[in-house]
Structure 1
Amino acid sequence: MNPVLTLEAVSVHAGPQRIVAPASLDLVPGRPLTIIGETGSGKSLLAQAIVGNLPDGLSAEGRVTIGDVSEEAGASGRHALWGRGITVLPQEPWLSLDPTMRALPQVAETHLLVAERSEADADRAAKSDLASVGLSEAVAKYPFQLSGGMAQRLAFVVARAGGAPIVIADEPTKGLDAARIGEVVDLLRKGLANGGALLIITHDVEVARRLGGEVAIMLKGEIVERGEADVVLAAPQHDYTRTLLAADPRHWPARAPAAPASQAAESVLDLRDVAASRGGRTLFSGLSLAVRRGEIVGLTGPSGCGKSTLGDVALGLVRTDAGTVQHHVGLPSTAFQKLYQDPVAAFPPRRTLRRTLCDLAALHRLDASRIPDLMERLRLYPALLDRRPGQVSGGELQRFSLLRVLLLKPALIVADEPSSRLDLVTQKEMIELIVDAADRDGCAIILISHDEALVDAVADRRLRLEGDRSVNVEARQAA
């Protein structure tokens, strides 16, 4: 079968520095190609080079052919194909959704203007799209009223509404629970069954297994291994691929439960008979929880069940409908910190990361000499400090979020999907650093995650929100 997308030695450069090595790939209808690799390895940059949408300051070389359009990678002729010939499912839904539009008209608009349907057909198609990803109740909601996982699903259907045969999906299952991941995989498969072509960028090895086709493993801007998905993921040949697969949370040794001394430690947070709602729907009620110093409490549950809302309630960012929230007396407000699920929304977009961190250190009289050590432990290159948030990968920005929080030496961290943008290797390293903050510094952690294997490996207790008023608390016992 003839390819619908061909790359010939496509590379990405930042001035004289090459950051993505020349890559040559073919994409054919009905057969997915999945790129897996380390955060910041250049996967998303390669995708942006294909589409012709690189950030300012970066350039592409090589040749890109999409259907009948063949041009140098740095040219702009393929921009005319956006939405109709090729579409991108973005990694950051907040950057692609219109904050002033409700969910239904956002999807309908694409059907109307890109797919050129009638208004009635566009409206019907939009309702069907939203229902297919479990968003029937969100048709009248704005993006800011949705959870991170719900916003990701909305961005998915908006991008697909134009009917483009070539789809580039950049972390399309990020932040979703297992059931929703299955739904997205099924939707991607439907596009393939109808003669579409799919290039997917993901950290989720299981998604690559389920999609099948071909996989390419990327490390430091270079594809180091490539082949059939079932072969590469079952019997990898490259050392990095083996390391990557071994870093799956299902293979982590379980962390020892908190020591008896920690179990007796005073609480830094007490929730008593707390209730909260969103859009008139009760998310949870009658919830009581005490979190002690040095303790890690895992918080799991399906997308949209209120996990992030509970985290915000714990930090005093969202008012409760009922109950009380008590922080330990004597701790400053800066002792209660959040790692955001979408860090791009938490950084000033026009300031360099260096400026942001230095301003933080000056404002709170922090020890700025800790920054280089934390950057080394988080595997962040010093050159990244002089970039703006939009000029680094999502995973790199998430690690900068952790660095910023750790500088404040917090008593409680609410970590909201803190590794959703990270590859398995970097995720393990970052979670280990969060665990270290609990074990060494006595910092309490509320770890919000869809990954139950990850929570099982590190949490002392798990609190599961199961919808409406059902809450289940599980304590992990020593082996």
Structure 2
Amino acid sequence: MSCLLEVKDLSVSVENGRLVEPVSFEVNSGEALVILGETGSGKSLLANAIIGNLPDTLTSSGQVRLFDRCQSERTQEERESLWGRDISVLPQEPWFALSPLMAAGEQVKEVDQLVNGISGNTLLNRLKEAFQKVNLSGDESKLPSQLSGGMAQRVAYISATQGGGKLLIADEPTKGLDASRQKQIGEQLNAHKSKGAVLVITHDVELAESLGGEVIVMRKGVVVERGKSEEVLKAPKSDYAKALISAHPKNWQQRQVSSKLETMIKASELKMVRNGKTLFEDLEFAISKNSVIGISGDSGKGKSTLADIVLGLVTPTAGSLKFQEKLAKGKALKLYQDPPSALSRAVPLQTLLDDIRKVCQFDDGQVRRYLKRLNLDESLLGRKSTQVSGGELQRFAILRALLMGPSLLIADEPTSRLDPITAANTLKLLVELSEEQGFTLLLISHDKVALSKLCDQVIQI
């Protein structure tokens, strides 16, 4: 059994201190290593340090040996030459991995052409087969902007693995996917072990369980537990690992269903066709004021589109949706599924708060209280969106929406980037605040168990 990756005392630092404490591990051919932990624990920084792709503001120390050669002995050009050919990397944010100007199929074809030197009918057949494997047949001609978050995640996965690299580094590969797609990705990651090895960074405990191998549990840049998957996940020793595993929605307390009767929104015979495909039809529902409503369905079935119809951003193909009372301007808000693409990368997060302060009444005391309840450090506001984790950015987006005092808040997969503990706390906080502040909350999620525990009503698409 050959060692594909050997890491010794690898740490990541900024100018004023360490973000990731020294960690050592090996990944051998035929094996999986899972790094499990909370949002912002340094998991993704480790992956970037391994492949030599850290931002200029960060430095790493320690030793990384890839394919029996130290990374420090390679030039940056030599490191990059490994990408796609020897190392397949699936980044956490599919929108940043895909070109917005190229059709999904063209991006996958490009990998086969440039990395594998394939052309002609073989190229087209491989493209067709790749899209079939992830249930995206017929979507090859779509731009990334025409794909749902889950669909974009699957295209990014194909692009990352089409080159056939022996070592696959997958950062949150099941993020934003429904249960059936999560299982499918797990099966494909397991299949990749026969071709090489996989290093998976995730907060998905079920994925970690399905992959087996070794598990390293991290919290705040420190390894708190490690060992064989079946031992760590079934009988964790550290308090944090115990809390992480017990945070699954099946263990949540059932929320008492509201008996509110005053209707806020009524939909009749809604139908939506997009790009010749019927997303949903004959959809009827009524939403009460100050209620918590779930919208559930598989990836690509139109959940986010339904939210945009409710907000008046999209016109349905047929049917009607009416508000019983017109909402004041700026009181119907949406938390987008992909906060990195919804928030400016050019300015610090504090500037994004200052912008909404011009039109909303709130003080610094409110900001600090929400930061505390969302488990966010105030120092985060001095950074740009590219300098914080996806999970931290998701919670910042929630903070910004709450400060605007919504009457209707639509949260599109608000916990897809969060670890189980933070996800549970964040969803429960959103429900709590909707009850405290008296706004209607629409939760879009693949997680049927979570919705059944928290919502007054679930709309199934």
Same fold (TM over 0.5): yes
Instruction: Provide the residue aligned with 2:405 in structure 1.
Output: 409
What amino acid maps onto 1:42 in structure 2? G
Cα displacement (A) at 1:437: 2.0
Instruction: Provide the residue aligned with 2:394 in structure 1.
Output: 398
For residues 281 and 404 of structure 2, what CA distance do their matches in structure 1 show?
32
Cα deviation code 1:58-78 (max 9, x no counterpart): 111111110133133997342
**Residues 367, 16 of structure 1: alpha-carbon distance in 2 compared, 3 angstrom cutoff:** closer
Cα deviation code 1:366-404 (max 9, x no counterpart): 444311111111111111111111111000000001001
Cα displacement (A) at 1:192: 0.7
> Does the CA-based 8 Å contact 1:101-1:142 persist in structure 2?
yes
Q: How does 1:415-434 map to 2 (within 5 A)?
A: 415-434=411-430
For residues 99 and 202 of structure 2, what CA distance do their matches in structure 1 show?
25
Stretch moving more, 437-446 or 109-118: 437-446
> Does the CA-based 8 Å contact 1:271-1:314 persist in structure 2?
no
Cα deviation code 1:251-279 (max 9, x no counterpart): 00111111x3xx12x33322232221211
What amino acid maps onto 2:83 in structure 1? W
Cα displacement (A) at 1:93: 0.7
Cα displacement (A) at 1:331: 2.2
Instruction: Provide the residue aligned with 2:160 in structure 1.
Output: 159
Instruction: Provide the residue aligned with 1:331 in structure 2.
Output: 327
> Does the CA-based 8 Å contact 1:60-1:74 persist in structure 2?
no
Q: How does 1:301-450 map to 2 (within 5 A)?
A: 301-450=297-446
Unaligned runs of 5+ in 2: none
Instruction: Provide the residue aligned with 2:190 in structure 1.
Output: 189
Instruction: Provide the residue aligned with 1:474 in structure 2.
Output: none
Instruction: Provide the residue aligned with 1:469 in structure 2.
Output: none
3-state secondary structure, aligned to 2:458 = strand
| Pairing 1:146–2:142 present | no
Cα displacement (A) at 1:38: 0.8
Cα displacement (A) at 1:100: 1.2
For residues 325 and 453 of structure 2, what CA distance do their matches in structure 1 show?
31
What amino acid maps onto 2:303 in structure 1? K
**Residues 140, 157 of structure 1: alpha-carbon distance in 2 compared, 3 angstrom cutoff:** same
3-state secondary structure, aligned to 2:170 = strand
TM-score (norm 2): 0.97
> Does the CA-based 8 Å contact 1:63-1:73 persist in structure 2?
no
> Does the CA-based 8 Å contact 1:43-1:201 persist in structure 2?
yes
Instruction: Provide the residue aligned with 2:135 in structure 1.
Output: 134
**Residues 398, 73 of structure 1: alpha-carbon distance in 2 compared, 3 angstrom cutoff:** farther
Instruction: Provide the residue aligned with 1:84 in structure 2.
Output: 85
> Does the CA-based 8 Å contact 1:343-1:397 persist in structure 2?
yes
> Does the CA-based 8 Å contact 1:10-1:73 persist in structure 2?
no
Cα deviation code 1:278-323 (max 9, x no counterpart): 1111111222222122211111111111111111111111111122
**Residues 460, 73 of structure 1: alpha-carbon distance in 2 compared, 3 angstrom cutoff:** farther
What amino acid maps onto 1:343 in structure 2? P
3-state secondary structure, aligned to 2:185 = helix
Instruction: Provide the residue aligned with 2:280 in structure 1.
Output: 284
For residues 432 and 263 of structure 2, what CA distance do their matches in structure 1 show?
19
For residues 381 and 56 of structure 2, what CA distance do their matches in structure 1 show?
17
Unaligned runs of 5+ in 1: 466-479
Instruction: Provide the residue aligned with 1:179 in structure 2.
Output: 180
Instruction: Provide the residue aligned with 1:472 in structure 2.
Output: none
3-state secondary structure, aligned to 1:369 = helix
What amino acid maps onto 2:95 in structure 1? W
For residues 206 and 42 of structure 1, what CA distance do their matches in structure 2 show?
20
Instruction: Provide the residue aligned with 2:47 in structure 1.
Output: 47
Cα displacement (A) at 1:122: 2.2
How many residue pairs are counted as aligned between the two chains?
460
Cα deviation code 1:431-471 (max 9, x no counterpart): 11111122222211111111111111101111111xxxxxx
Q: CA RMSD in A?
A: 1.5
Instruction: Provide the residue aligned with 1:111 in structure 2.
Output: 112
For residues 175 and 224 of structure 1, what CA distance do their matches in structure 2 show?
27
Instruction: Provide the residue aligned with 2:238 in structure 1.
Output: 238
**Residues 192, 17 of structure 1: alpha-carbon distance in 2 compared, 3 angstrom cutoff:** same
> Does the CA-based 8 Å contact 1:315-1:336 persist in structure 2?
yes
Cα displacement (A) at 1:132: 0.4
Instruction: Provide the residue aligned with 2:64 in structure 1.
Output: 64
For residues 328 and 94 of structure 1, what CA distance do their matches in structure 2 show?
37
3-state secondary structure, aligned to 1:414 = strand
Instruction: Provide the residue aligned with 2:267 in structure 1.
Output: 271
Stretch moving more, 272-281 or 64-73: 64-73
